[in-house]
Amino acid sequence: MPVSGSPTFDDLGEPVPVTSPARVVSLVPSLTEAIEVSAPGMIAGATDYCTHPPELDVPRVGGSKYPDVEAVLDLRPDLVVANAEENRPQDVEQLRANGVAVWVTSAAVTVPDGLGSVRRLLTQGLGLTEPGWLGEAEHLWSHTIPVHSTAIIPVWRRPWVVIGRDTFAGDVLLRLGVANVYAEHEERYPRPKLDELQARDADLVVLPDEPYLFTDTDGPEAFPGKRYKLVNGRHLTWCGPSLVDAHASLR
């Protein structure tokens, strides 16, 4: 159950009355990795999609969008970690109504924003010393490369969904010199028709392996004549320790 103490405030400004929690359930794959790498053994439960660290062996509580709230409660966590974009407000409210503290992170639109959010969670929400990987990631991603390519970045097909404005993934690529052709779109995740995508003036198509698993035979054929690159989706969208390896991998 929650530990009493002076509240800190999550990214949404909600008070979180927890200090030094021992048992954390994470509903966000990237935060699961960030917490477990920084404080091994603190994660007491995670979603089915929390694939890293690979050796993580904890009870699973369903998916990020539709977690099994009763399963979370059964684990008696001191704190549940959620995200404003990935998790439903009603699930957060149900947990809080049952006396469980929940720390909600914001949907970061830049790499610095994301790392700042993770820092607050680790040092203020969890009472941890700042881990070394965080400073290393900040250093690597503090520099930007001049734009050398323009890209379409699909994250789903049937229907096609692409990265639009104000997204973490878009900022990751921009810092590596790849500009998103949908960066000025009014939606963060537009759903253009395929003929519109094919007509866009882009010299690159970036195809991640999550949430949709694009492969050499599933995705590139839709963009004849365009250069494509398959990338690790975790490196593109996760804000955590993977950002250290992501810099060299994506660059």
User: What does pLDDT average to over the chain?
Assistant: 94
- 0.85 cut: is pTM over it? yes
**Arithmetic mean of pLDDT, 240-250:** 95
SS3 179: strand
The model's pLDDT over 83-104, given as tens digits with 9 standing for 90+, comes to 999 999 999 999 999 999 999 9
Whether residue 86 contacts residue 108, with contact meaning beta carbons closer than 8 Å, is answered with no
The model's pLDDT over 153-185, given as tens digits with 9 standing for 90+, comes to 999 999 999 999 999 999 999 999 999 999 999
192 phi, psi to nearest 5 deg: -75, 155
Model confidence at 246: pLDDT above 80: yes
pLDDT band at 226 (very low <50, low <70, confident <90, very high): very high
| Residue 178, beta-bridge partner list | 149
**Arithmetic mean of pLDDT, 230-246:** 96
Strand bridging mode 24-26 / 161-162: unpaired
Q: What integer pLDDT is reported at residue 19 of this predicted model? A: 67
Model confidence at 29: pLDDT above 90: yes
Nearest to 121 by CA among 43, 54, 236, 235: 43
Whether residue 179 contacts residue 151, with contact meaning beta carbons closer than 8 Å, is answered with yes
